[in-house]
Amino acid sequence: MDFLSHLLWAYVLFHSQPWAELGMVFCLLPDLFWAIPLIGLRIRHLRKKIPYVEENDIQTRALYRASHSLVTLAVAFLVSYFFFGVNAASGIGAGWLLHIIMDVGTHKGGIVNGIRLFHPFSQWHIPAPIWWREQMRKRPWIYAVNLGLAAIVYYAFG
């Protein structure tokens, strides 16, 4: 899903937790691990006046798969639990897990073509029913449904 949706849903679901801010940050972080190097790559291409081609995304694919893996999440959870305790580990684990759950069903296409949940040990992935970016282009009203659902959940369970 998109950046704003990750942040919004993390707020809706975690706002009453003592680790809410950490959960929101770590619900965004998996995409930053991948997007920042990708932006750097695109800027380098612009400076050299080399046309950007989609194959260059392959260079950031490994970062994407690592940051969207339950294996990486488990390592981050255990390390944060060991060094910072249960509160920090809960925020980090919950935020990161929510990000992965949101992406699993919405990443049918793109350079990653599905979230590899057990990367680097396995490349198996659940076939996602939709590609969020494509759906927002074809059916922009889907974003309004997304916002509406977030509002309903917030007011029903907040």
Cα 16–chain centre separation: 21
Contact, 113 vs 104, CB < 8 A? Answer: no
54-70 burial by CB neighbour count: b if 16+ within 10 A, else e?
eeebeebbebbbbbbbb
Which two tokens mark 55?
Answer: 């194959």
For residues 5 and 80, which CB has a smaller minimum distance to Zn ion in the complex? 5
Our measurement of the distance from residue 115's CA atom to the centroid of its chain's CA atoms, rounded to an integer in Å, reads: 10
Tell me how far apart the alpha carbons of residues 76 and 124 are, in angstroms, rounded to a whole number: 21
Smallest gap from Cβ 106 to Zn ion, in A, equals 9
Q: How far is the CB of 75 from Zn ion (least distance, A)?
A: 18
Closer by beta carbon to Zn ion, 60 or else 103: 103
Q: In the complex, what is the shortest distance from the CB of residue 104 to Zn ion, in angstroms, rounded to a whole number?
A: 10
CB of 43 to Zn ion, least distance (A): 21
How many CB atoms are closer than 10 A to CB 39?
A: 11
Binding interface with Zn ion (CB under 5 A): 31, 103
d(CA 43, CA 107) in angstroms, rounded, equals 25
Q: How far is the CB of 68 from Zn ion (least distance, A)?
A: 6
Residue 24 vs 103, nearer CB to Zn ion: 103
Report the residue number, 31 or 116, with the smaller CB distance to Zn ion: 31
Residue closer to Zn ion (CB basis): 87 or 150: 150
CA distance 20 to 88: 10
